[in-house]
Amino acid sequence: MPAAINRQVVLKTRPNGIPQAEHFALTETPVPTIGERQILIHNDYLSVEPAMRGWVSAVANYSTPVGIGEVMRSFAAGTVIASRHPGFAEGDKVMGMFGWQDYAVSDGSNVTRKVIEADLPLSLSLGILGLNGVTAYFGLLDLGQPRPGDTVVVSTAAGAVGSAVGQIARLMGCRTVGITGGEVKTRLCRDEFGYDAAIDYKADDVDAALADACPRGVDVYFDNTAGTISDAVLRQLAVGARIVICGTASVASWDPPPMGPRVERHILVKRARMMGLLVFDYAHRYEEAVARLAVWVREGRLRYREEIVEGIEYAPGAIAELYRGENLGKRLIHLASR
């Protein structure tokens, strides 16, 4: 039998910009009992994503914002501990939108997938074999359309998505250039993720470093930051460049949108394509990406880093920490079975 208490992190007030610990509250409710065609999941790992900033924002977005008093929306990976659903058995490992809480009841509709890679850690289903890996895979291959020999530039290059983009681009025969902040992360880019060049936007002259690293211009720019980093990359596009907009980590608030140099002339003169990426649009092809990524992981050709902390108490401040750029790998919160 599950413990009687379900700890939940709920949205207390709506932030303008990056959510801080004070915007959340930790509450306790009884663990629910399940009905016909339902399962009870114990969340072994909770995910922390940059996208969560958007999920709690009142500004127009791709999904309804989390309501005040509701459990924080989140991907989680867990174990089915009770099932009255014909599609799930006790012991099944599942990944889905189970929220920042110990236990989730599901009718299956919020289960993204059963985790079938039993030889690999369950936590990977929230990172390199989860949204991060799948985002990198389709964003780079489907939208970025890299060709062997192309120069691919990645911002937040050492991050959970960025590091996968850089490595997949390299597997495709591209020259890869990572932009990241600080010496530790630039070293990580070069030594661990195999970038041909790594630029420290905090220390380097980004324009000069880009010109040096991309002598024939930038063919693909996988953008996780927006802001002045993107401004610098756009000045060095090659003809026919593809710009994949995956995130806007450098922009603290979009209400109102910040000002920057207009992009139209770059797009026009270079006949470039700037495209928005939302991984949920690839839900129907999710397994295709995970299968390919898992092969690369098993072969040791696709590396990943995780930073796993213990306890749901960590969750409220986790998004703000992510935006401070302090983590060196996919941030996950482990919840012990009780």
Q: Does 270 bind a second copy (CB under 8 A)?
A: yes
Which residue's CB is nearer to a second copy, number 103 or number 286?
286
The nearest distance, CB 266 to a second copy, in angstroms, is 8
Q: Among 1, 4, 36, 60, which residue sits at the site for a second copy (rule: CB under 8 A)? A: 60
Q: Does 246 bind a second copy (CB under 8 A)?
A: yes
214: nearest Cα among 130, 284, 153, 291: 153
Report the C-alpha gap between 57 and 14 in whole angstroms: 7
Report the C-alpha gap between 253 and 139 in whole angstroms: 24
Q: Which of residues 271-300 bind a second copy (CB under 8 A)?
A: 271-278, 281
Report the C-alpha gap between 214 and 228 in whole angstroms: 18
Report the C-alpha gap between 310 and 313 in whole angstroms: 8
Q: Among 268, 300, 324, 336, which residue sits at the site for a second copy (rule: CB under 8 A)? A: 268
Q: Does 333 bind a second copy (CB under 8 A)?
A: no
Q: Does 259 bind a second copy (CB under 8 A)?
A: yes
Q: Using an 8 Å Cβ cutoff, are 16 and 255 in contact?
A: yes
Q: DSSP characters for 170-235?
A: HHTT-EEEEEESSHHHHHHHHHTS--SEEEETTTS-HHHHHHHH-TT-EEEEEES--HHHHHHHHT
Q: Among 32, 67, 149, 257, which residue sits at the site for a second copy (rule: CB under 8 A)? A: 257
The nearest distance, CB 197 to a second copy, in angstroms, is 23
Which residue's CB is nearer to a second copy, number 30 or number 261?
261
Identify which range of 52-60, 182-190, 304-312, 325-333 contacts a second copy by CB under 8 A: 52-60
Q: Does 64 bind a second copy (CB under 8 A)?
A: no
Tokens 């989860």 found at: 130
The nearest distance, CB 99 to a second copy, in angstroms, is 22
Q: Does 200 bind a second copy (CB under 8 A)?
A: no
Q: Can you read off the two tokens belonging to residue 153?
A: 């530039």
Report the C-alpha gap between 178 and 193 in whole angstroms: 9
224: burial class by Cβ within 10 Å (0-12, 13-18, 19+)?
buried
The nearest distance, CB 225 to a second copy, in angstroms, is 9
Q: Among 262, 284, 300, 336, which residue sits at the site for a second copy (rule: CB under 8 A)? A: 262
Q: Among 21, 116, 171, 267, which residue sits at the site for a second copy (rule: CB under 8 A)? A: 267
Q: Does 20 bind a second copy (CB under 8 A)?
A: no
Amino acid 28 reads E
Report the C-alpha gap between 114 and 334 in whole angstroms: 19
Q: Using an 8 Å Cβ cutoff, are 140 and 147 in contact?
A: no
Which residue's CB is nearer to a second copy, number 19 or number 316?
19
Q: Does 141 bind a second copy (CB under 8 A)?
A: no
Identify which range of 15-23, 158-166, 261-269, 320-328 contacts a second copy by CB under 8 A: 261-269
The nearest distance, CB 256 to a second copy, in angstroms, is 7
N-term to C-term CA, the chain: 10
The nearest distance, CB 298 to a second copy, in angstroms, is 32
Q: Can you read off the two tokens belonging to residue 148?
A: 């062997």
Q: Which of residues 204-243 bind a second copy (CB under 8 A)?
A: 223, 226-227, 230
Q: What is the sign of the dihedral through the CA atoms of 233, 234, 238 and 241?
A: positive
Tokens 């930038």 found at: 218
Q: Does 30 bind a second copy (CB under 8 A)?
A: no
Q: Does 147 bind a second copy (CB under 8 A)?
A: no
Binding footprint of a second copy on the chain (CB under 8 A): 54, 59-62, 223, 226-227, 230, 245-248, 251, 254, 256-278, 281
